[in-house]
Structure 1
Amino acid sequence: MTATGRVSAEFGAAWNSFLRRRTAVFFTFFFPVILVLIFGALVQTQPTGGGLFAEPQAYYIPGYLATVVLFTPLSRVGSEIARHREGNRFEKLATTPLSRTEWMLAQTLVNVVVIGLAALLILALMVLVTGAEIPLSPGILLLIPFVVLGVTVFCGLGSVLGSIADSQDGVIAASNTVALPLLFLSETFVTPELLPDWFGPIVNLSPLTYFSRGVRALTYEGAGLTDPTVLTNLGVVAALAVVFFVAGAYAIPRTD
């Protein structure tokens, strides 16, 4: 069997495993829906009012997308590795031709599909429920590589957390500990003006910051395909995706 065949087979197995967990499927899509309904439709934004949610609805699209790009890969990949370790599956995988890189790629592709669907749902809700105006230009197509690369970054990080944590509960705790600060301190829901000046350089350390800046330029500022802001942030996310994917593949245990 070729490498493509091995990845396809593992992708199919991981996809079917996801679909069998109906609770996981439900909450994967319910969480972003309820988030948009609460903060987008009920709380709503108060332009020029100051404080949180003082910007137009479209400004917060990167934040809503970041919730699924960040939380879902961290918890899903980390938990999958924890389950494999508890079931001694890595010892069995070590006897097959499937490499750690191929296993990681298959898991990443499953998450790309799942989160891609969730992202489409979020965009539709933002337009239909909150009235957010998303510029329809060729540049909006760059949302696809932003989501794909962002998912890859946090799949890699999830793999590292899953390899370090000693149980599924440990993975969930570690994922939340990492994800919550990143979600609110990466130019998503909290604008840079609301943070102290000394915190500015720290924001630049977050991979999610570059995802947020690029997505906001596309969905709020109407940037084009060749906009320097978009391309710069996309390049940073792409470089981080390579680094985290390699780190995540390397962190996968050979045996349990």
Structure 2
Amino acid sequence: MESQLSLSSSPKSIKSFIQTIWADSLTILWGDWLDLRVRIVQVAASGLVSPLIYILAFGLGLGSTLKPGMGSGNSYLEFMLPGMVALSSMTIGFGGTVFSICGERLFTKNFEEMLLLPIHPIALHFGKMMAGILRGLMTSGSVILVAILFTGKIWSFLNPLFLLILVLNCAVFSGLGVIVGLSVKSLESVGIYNNFIIVPMSFLGATFFDPAQLPSALKSVVYLLPLTYTSIGLRAAAYQSTQFPWYSVAVLLILAVILSAIGAYKFATQQD
């Protein structure tokens, strides 16, 4: 009889645990939102400068010398626009999360108070990751608006598959930002991660080229980068939804889960 009660109550306890994790994650997110809401325009515009420069220099400049029909879309500008969305979401999702956590740890010194809260470490990670996702979506939303203005294709950049890949990309790089933010000892260390991970990935993550056209040796390197799967997925969702690479969703989802596990462990063992 006791075993039957235990078995019947198990699903309820799992459901209660999930509800608690979700509620606590939203609490952490709300704390970040209170600070973020007064800087919405700044956050939305902060990641727009680099993509705009790339669009003007490569899409309208270099792209005008290339023949139409290259890759997806009718022009090189259309080809690279999904990559610019991926680039902006990666940059702000990662950078915004890292600097937010570093600011709390190294400057305001209120990070210790959050660690003392009776909240599960996975909820702490999810809350910070969701704040990073929000930052990434705000910035990439600005780039999407620019892409729609340039192409006039609203549904290409606002369809469910496009938004799914975009959210997963924000989750991956926000999760990475949480881990880096908990690991670094100074802001100078953040620059090292940015120079050796984010900047190379910006140019090698299939944002400006089709990785299928690369030599085998270089292709194997490019397909190790998460941003490659985002760029491929966004491009296919925008222009070739009938040939959508579902493996991109699987890769990004698996990476987000792995980073969440690492982030939760970092929160559970964090000393400061």
How much does 1:230 deviate? 2.5
2:196 is the alignment partner of 1:177:
yes
Residue number in structure 2 paired with 1:112 = 133
Rounded to whole Å, the distance in 2 between the matches of 1:41 and 1:138 is 19
Change (3 A) 1:83 1:135: closer
Change (3 A) 1:236 1:139: farther
How much does 1:162 deviate? 1.9
Residue number in structure 2 paired with 1:149 = 168
2:217 is the alignment partner of 1:202:
no
Residue number in structure 2 paired with 1:74 = 94
Rounded to whole Å, the distance in 2 between the matches of 1:152 and 1:216 is 19
Q: Which shifted more, 113-122 or 16-25?
A: 16-25
Residue number in structure 1 paired with 2:31 = 13
Contact kept, 8 Å, 1:83 with 1:168, in 2: the verdict is: no
Change (3 A) 1:41 1:56: closer
Change (3 A) 1:30 1:57: closer
2:80 is the alignment partner of 1:60:
yes
Bigger Rg over Cα: 2
Say which SS state the counterpart of residue 78 (structure 2) adopts: helix
How much does 1:201 deviate? 0.9
User: Which one-letter code corresponds to 1:254 in the other structure?
Assistant: Q
Change (3 A) 1:179 1:13: same
Residue number in structure 2 paired with 1:242 = 257
Change (3 A) 1:84 1:138: closer
**RMSD of the TM alignment (CA)?**
3.1
Rounded to whole Å, the distance in 2 between the matches of 1:160 and 1:212 is 23
Structure 1 runs not aligned, ≥5 long:
none
How much does 1:42 deviate? 5.1
Rounded to whole Å, the distance in 2 between the matches of 1:138 and 1:42 is 23
Rounded to whole Å, the distance in 2 between the matches of 1:40 and 1:216 is 15
Moved over 6 A (4+): none
Q: Higher relative contact order at CA 8 Å, sep ≥6: structure 1 or structure 2?
A: 1
Change (3 A) 1:100 1:239: same
Rounded to whole Å, the distance in 2 between the matches of 1:165 and 1:110 is 19
Normalising by structure 2, report the TM-score. Answer: 0.77
How much does 1:75 deviate? 1.0
How much does 1:34 deviate? 4.6
Structure 1 residues 17-44: Cα deviation after superposition (integer angstroms, max 9, x where no partner) = 2234575554244444454344434554
Identity of aligned residues (%): 23
Structure 2 runs not aligned, ≥5 long:
1-18
Structure 1 residues 29-75: Cα deviation after superposition (integer angstroms, max 9, x where no partner) = 444445434443455443339x9xx9532211232012122111211
Say which SS state the counterpart of residue 144 (structure 1) adopts: helix
User: Which one-letter code corresponds to 1:72 in the other structure?
Assistant: I
Residue number in structure 2 paired with 1:255 = 271
Rounded to whole Å, the distance in 2 between the matches of 1:92 and 1:209 is 38
